[in-house]
Amino acid sequence: MSSAATGMELVDLSIRIPLPGTPRRWVYPARDISLPFHAGSITAIVGESGCGKSVLALAAMGLLPAGTQTSGSIFARDIDVLAATESELRNVRGRGVGLIPQSAATHLTPVRTIGSTMAESLAIHGFPARPIDIAHLLRTVELDAETARRYPHEVSGGMAQRVLIALTCALEPTILVADEPTSALDADTAALVRRQLRDQANRGAAVVLITHDLVAARAAADHVAVMYAGQILETGPARVALRAPAHDYTRALLAALPENGLIPPPGTPSSLVDPHPAVCPWHQRVGVSCSAASLSAVGADHLVACDSAARC
């Protein structure tokens, strides 16, 4: 890892997944991504649905599907996740790298109460797991103690989401990856979750917020990486990149916000299947000439891709 202040780092990461039923075709959810996630801060990865964001979360946990091919590295807790054995990964997951997944209800054991699932996870990692401890954790996400006695099918998706947020944060991971953690929540509860993420960053964790919600990213994140079709097109301080963006794709995402008129991005979203390595998928989508240049500095800690980004 390049710095002690870096909680996790992606280095030249590329991922390709075989397309089912087509043995010679591949899906590329990540291409040549290098990105640091600093301890004590929140980095948001934003972009349209299907751009590859959630695959990065699975990669960080060593949970990519069978048959996936990777190159590059993911450094977390002094190991390269992509080169680690399953035994090494078991020692990292939970307290090293914690994941708040999408579709939380599907990650809770359906035949066990929520409380018993929480107690087992806490006990495995050496944390107190008494009923009073479970009740306290549930209260941190504004759920009552009775929630522990319920089965996953007896709670809403938003409640299940809050259960996993409370449990994952309770393990105090060094690196916390939150994949769309506010997608099933109302505005007040989403604000509560953002406070939970900030608390984790304040205690020194590197927090990765994966979201398509630019408003949430702008409210919660210190840094932002804008992703499109498996590539990072802009990175920088959130207060800069999400208020005065340098790349026209970021500007297109911001234009789609209600405050800016709900103008949808032009064109049809690009396919992740067998993309041409020398073509910028965003500028191909909008019909602008671009040589797909790599990230370069346009300001302090502010990087942008594409030779045409500044003039589009």
Coil, helix or strand for 196?
A: helix
The rounded distance, in Å, linking the Cα atoms of 67 and 21 is 13
Coil, helix or strand for 118?
A: helix
The rounded distance, in Å, linking the Cα atoms of 67 and 74 is 18
pLDDT tens digits for 243-291? 999 999 999 999 999 999 999 999 999 999 999 888 899 999 999 888 7
How many Cβ atoms from other residues are within 10 Å of residue 257's Cβ? 14
Question: Percentage of residues in the chain with pLDDT exceeding 90?
Answer: 79
Domains of the chain: 6-96+173-304 (3.40.50.300), 105-172 (no CATH)
- Provide the token pair at 215: 């408003």
Query: What pLDDT sits at residue 133?
Result: 96
The model's confidence at residue 4, banded by pLDDT at 50, 70 and 90, is very low
Coil, helix or strand for 296?
A: strand
Query: What pLDDT sits at residue 5?
Result: 62
Distances (CA, A) of 182 to 131, 253, 300: 27, 19, 30
Query: What pLDDT sits at residue 10?
Result: 97
The model's confidence at residue 294, banded by pLDDT at 50, 70 and 90, is confident
